[in-house]
Amino acid sequence: MKQYIYLVMHNKFFIVFTFFTFSIFSAQNLSVKQIDSLIFIESRKYDQLGQYQSAIEINKTALDESKKIGYKKGIAWAYYYIANSYCNKGAFDESNKYLKFAEKNAQIIKNTSLDVAIINCQGKIYNEQNFSYTSAIKKFKEAEQLSANIINKGEKKEWLNHTYKNLISSYSNLNKWDSAFHYMQKSYKLSPDAYNSAALAYYHLNSSKNTDSIENYLKITEKVLKNEPDRVFERSIYESQLGDYYYLKNDFRKGIEHYEKAIPLAKRSYATKVLLSSYQRLSDGYDKISDAKRSIEYLKKYSALIDSLNSPMNKNNDVSLTRILEETKQKNIDEKQQLVKLYMVLVLLLVAVFLAIFIKNKVKNEKLLEENRKIIQEKEETLSVNEELIHELERKVNEKFDKVVLLAKCNDPNFYVRFQEVYPNFQESLLCFNRKLTASDLTFCAYLYLDFQTKEIAEFTFKSIKTIQNKKSALRKKLNISSSEDLYIWIKNIIK
């Protein structure tokens, strides 16, 4: 506890020192390097500490300095980080305002990482307001796809991880645990940090109820947080999850201790959902141990917080609805423009066709024989070209097959997508036998279709041979394949 207090005091001193340092520099224009340090290092430290207002002030300073020297990258990124910090604070109206400026300036600097960041922030506003999880997921999916275009590997990893965490949040809010768990695994693989290990603990607390897995990921989270004690937001989640864990074991007094610890951490990091959950769970816990007074006390706190959120939430929902309507309107405009372009192309094609017919009819009769000879020659050349195209297509199919096999061996997330490109009828053929097959089932069937044996699949997917064998048995049941039939031959035959 003394160590924790020391860290808090140290962080406060650090914030004051930083503002003092840059106030000295503010007498003269900052360099690009100094502005980048403000935006990408200093403000992000405060954001991680839950000191969102400090992060905002730092980025506003960076914004002013960027404008003084015409530093377009600094202007765009400062607007984004201000919007992101306001979102983290729950000030969604302000977040939307600065996000619009970020979008406008992002069009100037053409930076894919910034585009991904802005789309994530748009989705996070929808998600945190409980306004439209579907709209939020749509944004996060867009960001996930766009992340593939980021050239810098470090930035790509960072923004993919950021996107996966947002998808985890939205799918968890919808209680779509399979999808949430999918992204939890992907995010944890990219970065086994406190948030990701806590997310996996959250999944097992709410879905699988597997106490061994819960204890494992809680211990991992605890270990990570020991090395990063200033992660206030993650610590609030961890304490709340410990409360959930002890409630699961019916040890309500122990659970109450951890919910009580979660509350001040949640307040500091603006973790409203953690705070709401802690109030509600404390009310339930005190009721379980027959302390009606404390139970009512926390129920009142829960109700008061709900009431305090509802009024600004309605206003913010109006802002989000306006944004969605604007985006829909812009999409309709873009579609109309595309239609106009298509009509123009069709008109030009028609003109070209009529012109060709006119020219053809003007050709003199004496040239018909020569033209027929040319047509025959062209057909012969076309046949020759077609033969070359067939050989080229065969070569490309073989290359695609080799690429699919390589992706499978690397356990690449894009494996099944590329597999479907090579075998477009595969998925629909399988689903004819069982519409409830999961993405995991379909991917596993793809491995079998490529003739990978149990040991190979286990090696590629980092699973035990026993797990793969069990998967095969489960698949037989789902597809109603008798034990006398060869599973590999059966799967090969379905798309013949």
Q: Let me know if residue 99 belongs to a domain.
A: yes
Task: Please give the full DSSP string across 398-440, using - where no structure is assigned.
Answer: HHHHHHHHHHHHTT-TTHHHHHHHHSTTHHHHHHTT-TT--HH
d(CA 465, CA 459): 8
Residue after which a domain boundary falls, among 122, 140, 159: 122
Please tell me the total count of domains within the chain: 3
Whether residues 402 and 329 fall in one domain: no
Q: Let me know if residue 354 belongs to a domain.
A: no
Whether residues 198 and 325 fall in one domain: yes
CA distances to 25, 203, 235, 301 from 217, rounded to whole Å, are 45, 10, 14, 30
Contacts of 401 (CB under 8 A, 6+ apart): 422
Whether residues 334 and 210 fall in one domain: yes
Whether residues 199 and 320 fall in one domain: yes
Contact 404, 415 (CB under 8 A): yes
Q: Let me know if residue 164 belongs to a domain.
A: no
Whether residues 307 and 419 fall in one domain: no
Contact 285, 252 (CB under 8 A): yes
110 SS3 class: coil
Q: Let me know if residue 130 belongs to a domain.
A: no
Q: Let me know if residue 172 belongs to a domain.
A: no
Whether residues 236 and 314 fall in one domain: yes
Q: Let me know if residue 247 belongs to a domain.
A: yes
Contact 219, 241 (CB under 8 A): no
Look up the pTM and report it.
Answer: 0.60
Whether residues 205 and 318 fall in one domain: yes
Containing domain of residue 426, as a range? Answer: 397-493
Residue after which a domain boundary falls, among 68, 100, 122: 122
Would you write out the chain's pLDDT as a tens digit for each of its 496 residues? 333 333 344 444 444 445 445 554 445 789 999 999 999 999 998 988 889 999 999 999 999 999 999 999 999 999 999 999 999 988 999 999 999 999 999 999 999 999 999 999 999 999 887 667 899 999 999 999 999 999 999 999 999 999 999 999 999 989 999 999 999 999 999 999 989 999 999 999 998 889 999 999 999 999 999 988 888 989 999 999 999 999 999 999 999 999 999 999 999 988 888 999 999 999 999 999 999 999 999 999 999 988 887 755 555 555 555 655 565 566 567 667 777 778 788 888 888 887 878 787 777 877 776 786 787 577 666 655 556 664 555 555 567 788 889 998 898 989 889 999 899 988 898 988 889 889 899 999 999 999 999 999 999 899 999 999 999 999 999 989 988 899 999 998 887 6
Whether residues 199 and 285 fall in one domain: yes
Q: Let me know if residue 366 belongs to a domain.
A: no
Helices (DSSP H) in 26-42: which residue ranges?
32-37
Whether residues 208 and 331 fall in one domain: yes
Q: Let me know if residue 141 belongs to a domain.
A: no
The CATH number assigned to the domain holding 238 equals 1.25.40.10
Q: Please provide residue 216's backbone torsions phi and psi, each rounded to the nearest 5 degrees.
A: -60, -50
Whether residues 407 and 310 fall in one domain: no
Whether residues 404 and 305 fall in one domain: no
Whether residues 456 and 331 fall in one domain: no
Residue after which a domain boundary falls, among 74, 106, 122: 122
